[in-house]
Amino acid sequence: MLSPEQLAAKHQQAGGHSAAWLLAARVFASDGEAKYLLTWPELWDVLRWYAHNRGYDGNKRWSDAEADSEAAKEDSEKEQNARNLMEKFGARSMAETFCRHLGLDPLGDKQASVIRFKGLDAAFPREGVEAEVRRLLQAHFGKLPKVDGQFEQALFDKWEAIPYPAFGIKAKKGI
């Protein structure tokens, strides 16, 4: 895992990989080939990217009250745009869709493009993004220390699956 110093550096401006989605797409494109698997610092960058781009869930907690609203219609259109992009590029993941739209080969050397992705008005469905992250983690089971079913469970299902001292999180009173 990351040392406290490495973790602090990751939280600085530009402290992570500038194309974390490309790192994820490499793992997928290589079918988990060892030379394309991630290190812990790279996995951290990728997980942070997914945390910030975790997919759209239709605001399930409160959307019933606004099911017929204009906002719900726009959100549905954004989800459909994402699905259309994935279909257009024959991509199975958000990360692969980014690469294909930007004209980047995940296994190639080029890591940047002048093409803009954010302007596509696409919101990837959360269930697909979660499946993508699970697939990424599972590619590292038994290959990257402490990336296992328990770690996956802690990220997705039950954060208490790994006691917090193992994560280096300090207990806070009143929480």
pLDDT band at residue 61 under the 50/70/90 scheme: low
Q: What is the pLDDT of residues 66-105, one digit of tens each?
A: 555 666 676 788 889 999 999 999 999 999 999 999 999 9
* Per-residue pLDDT reduced to its tens digit, 100-145: 999 999 999 998 898 988 888 888 988 999 999 999 999 999 999 9
Q: Which two tokens stand for residue 14?
A: 């530009």
Distance CA 77, CA 66 (A): 16
> Which pair of structure tokens corresponds to residue 172?
């806070």
CB atoms closer than 10 angstroms to residue 49 = 20
Higher pLDDT, 175 or 50: 50
SS3 (DSSP) at 125:
strand
Domain boundaries, the chain: 26-167
CA distances from 122 to 2, 33, 77, 128 (A): 33, 30, 8, 13
User: Would you say 50 and 134 are in contact if contact means Cβ atoms under 8 Å apart?
Assistant: no
